[in-house]
Each structure stands twice: as C-alpha cells, then as structure tokens.
Structure 1
Amino acid sequence: MAAVYKFKPYNVGRWIIWSAFAGILLMAPLVFTSNLSTTMLAQMGIAIIACLSYNMLLGQGGMLSFGHAVYTGLGSYMAIHALNAVSGGKLHIPVSVLPIVGGLSGMGFAVLLGWVTTRKSGTPFAMITLGVAELVFAMSLMFSEFFGGEAGVSGNRVAGEAFFGITYGPQIQVYYLIAAYTFVCVALMYAFTQTPLGRILNAVRDNPERVEFIGYNTQ
C-alpha cells in the first residue's frame, strides 16, 4: 500500500498576528514608561483575560451571564490568601505561580456554581447567574475573615526567595508576569475554540435542539 503524505501549509497571517501580539506585550512598557502607564498596562492585561473568558460564555456558547465576575473575584481572593500564606511561610510555592492558584480556584467555583446555573438557558440562566452574583456579594460582607469586608485583603507580593533577581517589587516585573500569563491564556482560549468541544459550543449557541438530537448533552 502506497504511503500517502499530506502537507498543511503554514498560516502566515496567523503567525504574523500572534507575533505582533507578543511584540506589543513586550514593547508596550518601553514606549509608555511612567509608573501610571505600567500599572494601567498591567490592568489591561488582566482585563483581556477576563473579557475573553466571558467571550467563551457569550460569544462561543451564547450564554448571557451576569455573574462572571464571581469566578474572577473568588479566584483573586484565593490567590491573595495564597500570597499571604507564602509570606507567612505556610505555603512554599513561587510567587510566579500564584495566578495559576487563582485560575484553578476560579475554575473550581465555576464547576460548583455552573452545575446549578447551567440547568437552565436563555433568560432564566441569566437571572440565576445574577442571583448567584448577588448572593456572593452579600457573603462578602458577612464573612469578613475571608473577604476582608469593604477594605478587602491586603498582601505583600515581595515574598519568598528572589528568582534570578526577580522580586516583583518593581512594577515592571509585575507587568511582564501579567503579560506572560495574558499571552498564554489568550493562546489557550483560542486553541479551545478549535477543539471539538469548542465547536460544539457554537452548535449549542446556534441550535441546542439539534445538538441534543445528535446525542450531546447541552448542559
């Protein structure tokens, strides 16, 4: 049997776009050099991750959620508590991986609350997510030990041993950490949209009844 070879050409446009994205992340703090600019760029990186993750719900899955900030917020609280544990010597992990702690924590809360909210779709789903968001907001004022009340939870990011001189004291070091996670998260979210599960999300958005007819659980 003769061997069959298939060659898939490189998508030059995609390489250009992703290279330009990485270049902008690298060069932005060299163009905007003030402390305010660096702080704003870091906030923009965080917002990119949050907004694109919401696009996974609304844009890819067609699910209008009013409670998406719950998962971002709870993950952030877990990350700051992990940072304080590192500062207190109770947890021995590098500061660089604390965003992963926050991401995994947010995913855990999303699985728990999503199991409830996704039992409905459309307007009922949106209203349930709004109720969950209000519930968590009320809890934030009642459980001050975890949420810190209206003042929140403070921490010191300069914790643990310096890694190749990186202490995360200067704001520029914090920015590049956020920029690295921004690039990786954007790439992973794009890759997810190309998977069979990501494509099924589009089908659920467009016609959930047909998805059920071919044997998929839309929830």
Structure 2
Amino acid sequence: MNRRFLLVGLLVVIALVAAPLVMSQSLINAGIQMLIASLFACAFSLLCGQAGMLSFGHSAFFGAGAFATVHAMDAMGGAGLLPTPFMPLVGAVTGLLVGLVAGWFATKRTGVYFAMITLAIGELLYALAPHLSGWFGGEAGLSTMRMPAFGLSFADNVQVYYLTLAWVLLCLGLLYLFMRTPLGRVALGLRENTHRMRFFGYNVHVASTLVFAISTMFSGVAGALQAINIESANYVIFNLDLSAQVLLNSYIGGVTYFLGPAVGAALMSFFGYVVSDLTTSWLLYQGLLFVLVMLFMPRGIAGLVHAVAQALRRCGFARLWRAFALYLGATALLVAGTTFLVELLQRLFSQDYRALSQIGGNAWPDIPLFGASWAPLSVLTWLLPVLLLTAGIWLLARAARHWRRALALAAPDDDSPATTGGGRLVSGASS
C-alpha cells in the first residue's frame, strides 16, 4: 500500500511539474491559486482534523503572513529583506509568532468557546486593519513587486508557479513528517480525549498552543505565497469569507485525512474558476455541494475514495460495475435537474427579467436558457427538472441496493472499512 501511495504521489508531482507546458496563462494562474488553497487547507486540517480544534478565524494568520511578506518585499528601498524565493520564510515566522500569542489565549478554552475566540481574533483584525494604514495600507492595501533573484526574473506566471509548487511540496512534506513526531501523535490524542491526555501527565495547554502555532506557521507560508503571486495585500483578506472557504474545502476533501483537504481545496478552487465564468449562482452550487457532502459523505472525498478502494478489494470490479454505472447516471441526472432548476429560478427572479417584462409589456416573457426559450407559465418548463430529479433519485436508490448486495455477497469481514464505513458512505447513511 505504501508503494502504491508513493507511486501515485510521484505521478501527481510529475503531472504538476509538467502542467505549465500545456496550460494557458489563465490556467497557470488558477493552478497557483489551487496550490495555495491546498497548502492553506492542509495547515487548517492539522488544527481541525488532526487535533480536533475548530478554528473560525484562520484567515487572520493567512493575512498576517501575506502582509508581513509585502513589507519584507518592500524593505531596503524595494530590494527586499530576502531574495524572492525565500520570502515565504517571512510568512512562516510571522504566522508562528502570531499563532503562539493567539494560541496561548485561544487554547485556554475548548469546543465552541475556542471557535468563538478564533472568530473574534479574525474579526478584530478585520475591523482594525483599515484604521492602521501604516501596517495594512488602509482601504487601498499595500502593493509590492517581485524582485529578480538567482538569475530568475519572476516576471511571468510560470516562474511563480514553480516557486509556489516547490514551497507547497516542501510544506506538505514537513506536515507529513510532523504528524509522525511525538507532538504530532499528541495532536491526535488531543482530538480523541483531552482528559485522558491530562491524566497521562501531558500539559494539554502547551501542547495545544504548539499545534496551533505550527498550523498558523504553515498558514502564514500560504499567505506569503499569495502575496508573492498577486504582489499586493488588502485588509479584506482578514474577512470571515476566507476562513469559511478553507473550512468548506477541508471538509469537502476529508478533514481527517492528510491530503483530503488539499484535494478538496484544489477541486473547489478549480470549480470556482470554471463555474464563476458560467453563472452568477456558483456560490449556491458550492453551498449545495457542501451540504450534500456532509449529509451523504461525512468523511469527504478522501473518505469516499478510501471506502470505494476497500470495497473493490473485497468484491472486485465485476460485482460493483453496475453500481458504479448507476451512480454515474444518477449523478448526471441530478446535476442536470438541479442546474436547470437553479438557473431557471435565478433568471426568473433577476432584475433583468423584471426590466424585460416592463419594457416588452409581457408580464411573463420567455426565459432564454441552454440555447432554448422556456415559457415560465408552461407546465413542461417545470416538469423537465422534476423528471430529471425524480429519475436521478430512483437511479440513486437502485445503485445503493446494488452496492449493498455486492457487499453482502462478498466474504464477510466485520472489521473491514468497506462494511463499517464505506457502505454507509456510498449508500447515503451516516454515523
């Protein structure tokens, strides 16, 4: 299994290295954002998924790293405090120091109280930043410029992409090694039972503070990479939206798996890049996706992949191919029905539609959608999405039955994840 993991990881790294050779400039920009979001999500997951401490204000440490990096890039008359490739070290140090101070107070409480303290820290910085123009540049923010170093100009996005990729891979490797250290094992104990850890003699407050600070250190690196990429920083980076985004990305990918948050962040960043150009309702789709993942795949995408792999190992593809085909068909129908209904309602209640009805003198003009015109008062217009959704739900139920039947016919193994966790994940039940 370790060899397979290493092989898959090597292939992914090779693909990431070769990607700029076949991508356009806009896709390279999207790739940089995906890498930064992946690192930020993994840093957040160390605190939330591994140590069990839910933070609602992690954007504060991402922003602290970004602003510190901008100041470092502008230092010494614009020459920079460090060469451009080493600028993320400034974000790491800033994130670590700010995390030690904030974590010392935040980790004095647990559960919802800890979450509220982190939320207050983020909102405090968001409220103060516009008034501290010397540090944060006021409403306009701060701007900077990447300086040449080591024979590289960093003037094009390809060089920035490789710089970001190198730092992201380095940080992910360090995070993986940290999870294998004694303190990393203590983080898991903090998630499972802090009272038992305290009974064993561990200083829970100090351990929680250190884990918090390490998480914010890597968040600061992500913020530094963002500052290098866009050559600026604005106080809106402290907004709650970024904290909510990293939380959603982590849970969609699988917050308890090491690379699950990275997968979720990369996919959701690419989803936003593609869908935001097609529809104004893309945030609604993102919210619906999060709700569906929490209802039917509480372990996220990584948990689903793990469950499917365990089921394939037990049953083989021959017994499961029908279920896979039915799941794909159900997904296609449900996506088509949901998209049609959301876009139809969005256009129906938009200001443009109301203005069109007033100009044309027709209270209910046809709605152009997907290359056709749909009459809002026609039964067929609303019957189509209902039929698509009904057919999708019916296929989903059949797929779940096929899946359970295939698992039941396989050799019984009560301890197998395919029966304890995987069957529930794909069939829609959650523990």
* Contact preservation (8 Å) 1:193, 1:199: yes
| Residue matched to 2:100 | 111
> Which stretches in structure 1 are left out of the alignment for 5+ residues?
1-9
For residue 15 of structure 1, report the CA deviation from its aligned partner.
2.1
For residue 67 of structure 1, report the CA deviation from its aligned partner.
1.0
Task: Say whether residues 1:24 and 2:11 are aligned partners.
Answer: no
| Residue matched to 2:71 | 81
For residue 92 of structure 1, report the CA deviation from its aligned partner.
4.8
1:121-163, Cα deviation, whole Å (9 max, x unpaired)? 1010001111111111111111011111222111111x2x541
User: After the TM superposition, which segments of 4 or more aligned residues of structure 1 sit over 4 Å from their partners?
Assistant: none
* Contact preservation (8 Å) 1:78, 1:101: yes
Instruction: Provide the C-alpha distance between the structure 1 equivalents of 2:112 and 2:132, rounded to a whole number of angstroms.
Output: 30
| Residue matched to 1:122 | 111
1:188-216, Cα deviation, whole Å (9 max, x unpaired)? 11111111111111111011110011000
For residue 13 of structure 1, report the CA deviation from its aligned partner.
2.3
* Contact preservation (8 Å) 1:71, 1:106: yes
| Identity, % of aligned positions | 38
* Contact preservation (8 Å) 2:74, 2:144: yes
For residue 11 of structure 1, report the CA deviation from its aligned partner.
3.5
| Residue matched to 1:134 | 123
After TM superposition, the structure 1 stretch with the greater mean CA deviation from structure 2, 142-151 or 176-185, is: 142-151
Task: Say whether residues 1:205 and 2:191 are aligned partners.
Answer: yes
Correspondences of 1:141-156 after superposition (within 5 Å): 141-156=130-145
> Which stretches in structure 2 are left out of the alignment for 5+ residues?
206-431
SS for the counterpart of 2:109 is coil
* Contact preservation (8 Å) 2:73, 2:82: no
Instruction: Provide the C-alpha distance between the structure 1 equivalents of 2:123 and 2:162, rounded to a whole number of angstroms.
Output: 34
Aligned equivalent of 2:82, options 89, 93, 104: 93
Amino acid aligned to 1:183: L
Task: Say whether residues 1:64 and 2:54 are aligned partners.
Answer: yes
SS for the counterpart of 2:43 is helix
Aligned equivalent of 2:160, options 167, 171, 174: 174
* Higher relative contact order (Cα pairs below 8 Å, separated by 6+ residues): 1
SS for the counterpart of 2:204 is coil
| Residue matched to 2:180 | 194
* Contact preservation (8 Å) 2:73, 2:81: no
| Residue matched to 1:46 | 36
CA-based RMSD: 1.5
Amino acid aligned to 2:93: L
Instruction: Provide the C-alpha distance between the structure 1 equivalents of 2:86 and 2:16, rounded to a whole number of angstroms.
Output: 19
